[in-house]
Amino acid sequence: MSLFSQLNKSATLIVVLLLFLLSGSLPASAQKIVLMPMADLSKGANGVNFTFTKAVETTLKQLGIELVSRNDVMLFMAGNKVRTYQYLDSYLVKKIGTEFDSPLVLIGTIAELDAADASIGISFTAFDTADGNPVWAASDATSIREQVRVLGVGQPETSTDLARPLLKQMLAPLAKLAYAAEISDSRDYQLLGLSLFPGYVQGGQPLEATLKIRFLGQRPTLIAAESAAGKSYLQYDRRSDSYHGKWFAPSADGSYPVDLRIEWGREQTVQKVQKVASFDVINAPPGLQMEIKKAIPVGQRLAVRDHVLILPRVEDVRPLAGWALEIVSEHGDSRVYEEYEGDIPERMIWEGRSSDGFMMANGTYTISLHIWDLAGNQSSASQTLVLQASAPKIQARITHSDGKAFLNLSSAGQFEFPITAWEADLQSLGGERLLKTKGQVLPVALEFKPVTGEEYVQLSLQGEDLLGNRLQVKRQKLPIVEMEKTIKEQKAESWVPDF
Amino acid sequence: MTGQRVAKIILFCLLLLLSACAGRQALQTRVTAGADTRICSLAVMPFENWTTKPEADLLAYRLFNSALVSSDRFNVVSEGDVGLFRLRQRLLPGTLLHKSLYNALADQLAVDAVVLGRVVETGMDSRRGSDKVPFVALQVDLYDLRSDRLLLSTVHQRWGDEYRKIMHFGLVTTTSGVLQRMSQEIINDWKLKGVGCQ
């Protein structure tokens, strides 16, 4: 009995030892890998070939590689908006690894597929889900013309015949990689961006931060933004899937980098990401000067007849939030107000028109430029100009005194600068010259001898003001006999009854 | 003595004939003088397409990327990460990478260099009265992001029948086959010029 039991024990030990030895010589089982649908460039840049994907799946299974189900892969692609491989970034590769517990992601492209010519070109790339980077790649291509066999024995006829051996040959090295691969367990994230609003502030003004960040597994316990202003914890907003925070800018001028502090788990392990964003504190207003070119200096004043160039000079080069041009009359009426976002142009031309496009009346105007930087600091510069875009009008009248006739010329209308040169030519209706003279000063009374019996004379007149504006009147009929104008009171006809 | 001379002449003629059959390899790489060729990680920007074939750029891009990864000489940034960088920088498809973005690229993707390539020409052509074979012309530039300078520029052109060894053996009849071989040739040439992480 005891001998039998001893034999039994020895046999059990041998079996255990054998099993131990055998298990040591067996290869470790291959990890499950994720095969993405095969892109097919023969169908366009976004083409997908599911028939071929199936063929790749079969080949991989024949090589002993286990695959994540295609449905799960498709659901992942839809959920993460992976439309083409251009959208499969390293973060998503790592996410695939975490979700499917898989060490490798395999993407493939059918570079060329011609059924008529029976040719095929394939490219594969495998990504390591530990870091999301490509670790293996293979490309190959062939066609029936390249596969001519002796006497045509076993010669492939279709692109499917070509694909099978090609796939086996290309994917064989992947099996080794799948066996050797390990799944990493890391706290990983993808920083999409930290936006600060406003990016330029005055000292002491509030700053708002929005952080977009994606985590592979659990979210961290706390996230804080750190800068010279201190540490500010960010609150998670489920609706926008982002973190938000607010703090006040330091008072001193300068550029302040912002770091992220990610605190994980109960032990609050800290992970720091430096210089994720930055903000600028600007307290001084931007220096602004205005230069006017093409204006005519008249004494202490600047006059404009046709157009002027407005040249703004911003002393500190910094991004501007906006600028405005304002032109105000001497009575305080705003005739031009144009406000724009962004940088101020290097030069502007003002042709004496108001915002509605009409020429403005002669007079004195103040041109002002205002600029705002992104921190809200404002600067202004002004310059007063006298606009005289047309020469003063000349009023002509014939008067009689002591039996003599006089031609009276005087300036009329709104003007700042008078006529400085004029020339008058008075003729009878028959063409006889009665008077021709010129002068520099107005008003003036000029004697002439009218033709007997004629009630009108013809006056031609030329004049020029100080700025060079010219006036010309040709053969204007003037009554010789002084007439009194009487305005009769007229009753207004009304279309609507008074109420 | 006379027999030996005849044999030598025949051998010389044969060599001449064979060298003519071998064709020429139109690969030219110009490296900037004094450039630091130790490049460990690189990103490949989408290729430009100067041809009329719609997907030629994507085809060349994927195959060149694949050749770079399989060369085991560089750490290549994935196509998706490059796509995300372009998205962040608001670079529309087809927009070229401006030099002003080199710093951002180096920072965000942690790469030493960037590959900018273009498919200059591709199609099927019949040469020497034989069947139609594919041909491709590529230009690939490598910019060093550490110095913001062009490190090297490669121009390469190949016909499928240039790989023919004897009869139909070695003949390449697919555009992707030609591109795959050309990519390998370019990378091997870079290797000879000392470009890489080793």
A195: distance to nearest CA of chain B, Å? 13
The contacts of residue B171 (CB under 8 Å, 6+ apart) are A145, A146, B133, B160, B161, B163, B164
**pLDDT(A371) > 70:** yes
State pLDDT tens for residues A136-181.
999 999 888 877 666 666 677 777 788 888 999 999 988 888 777 6
Rounded average pLDDT over A347-358: 91
- Whether A54 and A156 map to the same domain: the answer is yes
Average pLDDT over residues A184-191: 69
The CATH number of the structural domain formed by B25-192 is 3.40.50.10610
Residue type, A244: H
Q: Identify whether residues A345 and A322 lie together within a single domain.
A: yes
3-state class of A478 per DSSP? strand
Are the CB atoms for A200 and A319 separated by under 8 Å? yes
Give the three-state DSSP class for A480. coil
Last residue of a domain, one of A154, A180, A206: A180
Average pLDDT score over residue span A220-239: 91
- Report which of B116, B102, B125, B131 is spatially closest to residue B60, judged by C-alpha positions: B116
B23, pLDDT greater than 60: no
Tell me: the pLDDT tens digits for A243-278? Answer: 999 999 999 999 999 999 998 877 778 888 888 888
In a domain, A344, yes or no: yes
Query: Distance (Å, rounded) from C-alpha A78 to C-alpha A90?
Result: 17
Q: Which residue type sits at A255?
A: S
Peptide bond into A319 cis (omega under 30): no
Q: Identify the pLDDT of residue B16.
A: 47
The answer to whether the CB of B121 falls within 8 A of the CB of B136 is yes
Would you state the pLDDT for residue A236?
93
Residue B110 DSSP code: -
A144 phi, psi to nearest 5 deg: -60, -35
| Higher pLDDT among residues A29 and B42, named by residue | B42
Q: Which residues of B touch A119 (CB under 8 A)?
A: 173-174
Residue A329 has pLDDT above 70, yes or no: yes
Distance to chain A for B72, nearest Cα, Å: 9
Mean pLDDT lowest for which of A25-39, A291-305, B69-83?
A: A25-39
Can you give the pLDDT at residue A167?
A: 92
Average pLDDT over residues B7-16: 58
What's the total number of domains in chain A? 4
Both A296 and A380 in one domain: the answer is yes
Same domain, residue pair A313 and A381: yes
pLDDT tens digits for B127-174? Answer: 766 678 899 999 999 999 998 889 999 999 999 888 876 666 678 889
Domain check: are A193 and A296 in the same one?
no
Contact at 8 Å (CB) between B163 and B171? Answer: yes
CATH assignment at residue A266: 2.60.40.1930
Q: Measure B64 CA to nearest chain A CA, in Å.
A: 10
- Chain B residues whose CB is inside 8 A of the A166 CB are none
Q: How many CB pairs under 8 A join A and B?
A: 115
CB B176 within 8 A of CB A139: yes
Alpha-carbon gap: A367 to the closest alpha carbon of chain B (Å): 38
Rounded to 5, what percent of chain B is helix, strand, coil?
Answer: 40, 30, 30
Give contacts of A117 with chain B, Cβ < 8 Å.
173
Nearest to B66 among A45, A127, A139 (CB): A139
In the predicted structure, residue A390 carries a pLDDT above the cut 70: yes
Tell me, yes or no, whether A49 and A147 share the same domain. Answer: yes
A134/A56 same-domain check: yes
Residues A346 and A452 in one domain: no
Question: Does one domain contain both A55 and A148?
Answer: yes
Per-residue confidence (pLDDT) for residue A382, from 0 to 100: 94
Are residue A327 and residue A463 in the same domain, yes or no?
Answer: no
Mutate one of A123, A124, A136 to test the B interface: name it (highest B CB count within 10 A): A123
Q: What is the pLDDT of residue A154?
A: 67
Q: What is the ipTM of this complex?
A: 0.85
Q: Which of the residue ranges A108-112, B14-18, B84-88, B108-112 would you say has the lowest mean pLDDT?
A: B14-18
Q: For residue A314, what are the domain limits?
A: 288-387
Mean pLDDT in chain A?
Answer: 84
Last residue within a domain, chosen from A158, A180, A202: A180
Check whether B14 has a pLDDT greater than 60. no
Q: What's the pTM value of the predicted model, to 2 decimals?
A: 0.58
Beta bridge partners of A181: none
Q: Longest C-alpha distance within chain A, in Å?
A: 173
Q: What are the residues of chain B with a beta carbon less than 8 Å away from any beta carbon of chain A?
A: 54-55, 58-59, 62-63, 65-70, 75-84, 88, 131, 168, 171-177, 179-180, 183
Min Cα distance A142 → chain B (Å) is 7
Indicate whether A144 belongs to any domain.
Answer: yes
Query: Which residue among B54, B62, B78 places its CB closest to the CB of A127?
Result: B78
Report CB contact under 8 Å: B78, A134. Answer: yes
Among A371, A387, A403, identify where a domain stops: A387
Report the SS3 class of residue B86.
Answer: helix
Q: Is residue A431 part of a domain?
A: yes
Distance (Å, whole) CA A396 – CA A402: 20
Residue A306, domain CATH: 2.60.40.4070
Nearest CA in chain B to A148: B168
- pLDDT of A49-76, one tens digit each? 999 999 999 999 998 889 999 999 999 9
For residue B62, the chain A residues in CB contact (below 8 A) are 41, 109, 111, 123, 139
Question: For position A55, what pLDDT does the model report?
Answer: 93
pLDDT digits (tens, 9 = 90+) for B145-158: 998 889 999 999 99
Domain ranges in chain B are 25-192
**Choosing among A146, A149, A174, which should be mutated to test the B contact, i.e. which has the most B CBs within 10 A?**
A146
How much of chain A exceeds pLDDT 90, in percent? 39
Co-location of A38 and A176 in the same domain: yes
Find residue B28's DSSP bridge partners.
B155
**A21 within some domain:** no
Same domain, A340 and A427: no
Q: What H or E segment, with its residue span, contains residue A55? A: helix A50-62
Cβ neighbours of A108 (radius 10 Å): 26
Mark yes or no for CB contact B80/A92 under 8 Å.
Answer: yes
